Structure 1
Amino acid sequence: MGYINNNIGYPKDLLASRAVIKRQNFALIPPDGLVKNIIPGFENCDITILATPKLGASFVDYLLTMYQGGQNLQGFGDDGIEVFAYVIEGEVSAKANEQTYHLQTGGYIYCPAGVKLYLQNLMPSSRLFLYKRRYNPISGYQTRVIANHIQHLERVNYENMDNVFIQDLLPKELGFDMNFHILTFLPGASHGYIETHVQEHGAYLLSGEGMYLLDNQWIPVKKDDYIFMGAYALQACYAVGQQPLSYIYSKDCHRDVEL
């Protein structure tokens, strides 16, 4: 129900939702129920704000649908703010530091703090996953613009399991205070253990179905769902159904805890 699936107007049944919101802990946000936001700079676009500091995240995630003529010529990002964009489906032109990148489904771009990202849609419609976060610099290290496609990334077994695979979208370098990964579970696969850690995640499900454990609560999830996992939220999943369960997610890393 809602603008994502163009199912609006009077309901034909009782109002209900699969959404689960536990502020400062975790959240499941399905596509049904998402609302449009108006954000300066985004033209001919529908954009939904997902995780924010109001939910408990140190970052902001967005779901962006760009239509014919959709663009952001004002620039996404700001001083001290790093940004990331992943093309869920479609084709866009991305510009950063006066260089233009052609991104298709599975393409992505990272811009360091202070480097604005400009976007133009090249299809009747394109859908993107956007991220921004205040960069935490350390002396002697820096970041750079990264533009790539997941087809060019190594897909390795996750923690010695031959039915779970991970791809690292950004370099494992100290200049980067975060990374993005794509984790893929073949049907029947699962995490090897229940994870408990200080890192936060914002995850968008790209395919499949599964059961996700969030703070000792098993919740069914599927393609196009969004999951926020806060610091120390217990987390693990099983892939169910006939398709691999795959999701892209962010992780803060490479920094000590500040007191």
Structure 2
Amino acid sequence: MGYKNNRIGYSDELLSSRSIIRRGNFALIPPDGLVKNTVPGFEDCELSILSTPKLGATFVDYIVTMLPNGRNELGFGEEGVETFVYVLDGKVKISDGETEYIHTTGGYVYLPAGKKMYLENVNGANTELFLYKKRYEAIAGHTAHVVSGNTNEMAAEHYEGMSDVLLTDLLPKELGFDMNFHILSFKPGASHGYIETHVQEHGAYMLSGSGVYVLDNEWIPIQKGDYLFMGAYVPQATYAVGRDESFSYLYSKDCNRDAQI
């Protein structure tokens, strides 16, 4: 059964998919065809695992629909693993076992390694979340800390001098953090200033609009609800398409660490 469409039985059309999987390089995963995964601790939740090391990522991303009684009382995360949650739609209570945060659409919480994340849907209806976890890479003299905020209350900045491309940083630019989350938003017709090629990898969830993304010299249409994995050194850039709605996406980026040999 597909995760998003809950379709069962035969299709009236030929089987087809927009999915593109290039393990270790890049992947496009649309909502059609995503299957529901059972993950211990997530009760009354419909969950799909997106990027994992099996795909070539050093992190794990999830898309989660919490039903009205949805919760995780067991705790998300494990020793040495940092976690992040972003509220795509609805209302959720998030706890690290000591402090509770109530967030609506656009809200997020980052928890450093050593703290488990507890979740409870308090929306009275479905709540949709984007979840992330990664093994934390510590360095001497610096530590990460809990971060909580809502992107609807944050100022975006012009991205690399382009007034029609906006960037929102969700985490502090501090050496204690070995990764960051951003929202990048392109008005229709806007684009990156150049095709990027870099050591950082990304997991990106499309929040609104549509675009055409170049990944390893393949131009690929993409839209709201799609998910992208972009591995290290894959050439990448996008043009926003459409008429009125900006093309925006939430994405992670590893940072603040030297390369290992």
Give the structure 2 partner of residue 31 of structure 1.
Answer: 31
2:180 is paired with a residue of what secondary structure? strand
Cα deviation code 1:203-254 (max 9, x no counterpart): 0000001100010000000000000000001100000002100000000000
Matches within 5 A, 1:59-98: 59-98=59-98
- Whether 1:8 and 2:11 are equivalent positions in the alignment is no
CA distance in 2, matches of 1:144, 1:54: 29
Give the structure 2 partner of residue 152 of structure 1.
Answer: 153
**How far apart are 1:97 and its partner, in Å?**
4.1
**How far apart are 1:26 and its partner, in Å?**
0.1
Give the structure 2 partner of residue 246 of structure 1.
Answer: 248
Matches within 5 A, 1:108-147: 108-123=108-123, 124-147=125-148
Give the structure 1 partner of residue 19 of structure 2.
Answer: 19
**How far apart are 1:5 and its partner, in Å?**
2.2
The alignment of Structure 1 onto Structure 2 pairs a total of residues equal to 259
Letter of the 2:178 counterpart: D
2:2–2:36 Cα contact (<8 Å) kept: no
Give the structure 1 partner of residue 211 of structure 2.
Answer: 210
Give the structure 1 partner of residue 222 of structure 2.
Answer: 221
Give the structure 2 partner of residue 197 of structure 1.
Answer: 198
**How far apart are 1:6 and its partner, in Å?**
2.7
Letter of the 2:53 counterpart: P
Letter of the 1:168 counterpart: D
CA distance in 2, matches of 1:3, 1:165: 31
Give the structure 2 partner of residue 56 of structure 1.
Answer: 56
Bigger Cα displacement from structure 2, 197-206 vs 118-127: 118-127
CA distance in 2, matches of 1:9, 1:203: 31
Letter of the 1:14 counterpart: L
Give the structure 2 partner of residue 161 of structure 1.
Answer: 162
Cα deviation code 1:74-130 (max 9, x no counterpart): 000111000000000010000014111001000000000010000000121011000
Structure 1 gaps of 5+ residues are none
Give the structure 2 partner of residue 106 of structure 1.
Answer: 106
CA distance in 2, matches of 1:80, 1:22: 29
CA distance in 2, matches of 1:174, 1:3: 37
1:171 is paired with a residue of what secondary structure? coil
2:97–2:118 Cα contact (<8 Å) kept: no
- Whether 1:232 and 2:233 are equivalent positions in the alignment is yes
CA distance in 2, matches of 1:193, 1:56: 25
2:239 is paired with a residue of what secondary structure? strand
CA distance in 2, matches of 1:177, 1:156: 22
CA distance in 2, matches of 1:134, 1:71: 23
Letter of the 1:121 counterpart: N
**How far apart are 1:9 and its partner, in Å?**
2.0
Cα deviation code 1:174-213 (max 9, x no counterpart): 0000000000000000000000000000000000011000
**How far apart are 1:68 and its partner, in Å?**
1.3
Aligned Cα root-mean-square deviation (Å) = 0.9
Cα deviation code 1:32-58 (max 9, x no counterpart): 000000000000001100000010000
2:41–2:73 Cα contact (<8 Å) kept: yes
CA distance in 2, matches of 1:190, 1:8: 39
CA distance in 2, matches of 1:60, 1:111: 15
Letter of the 1:244 counterpart: S
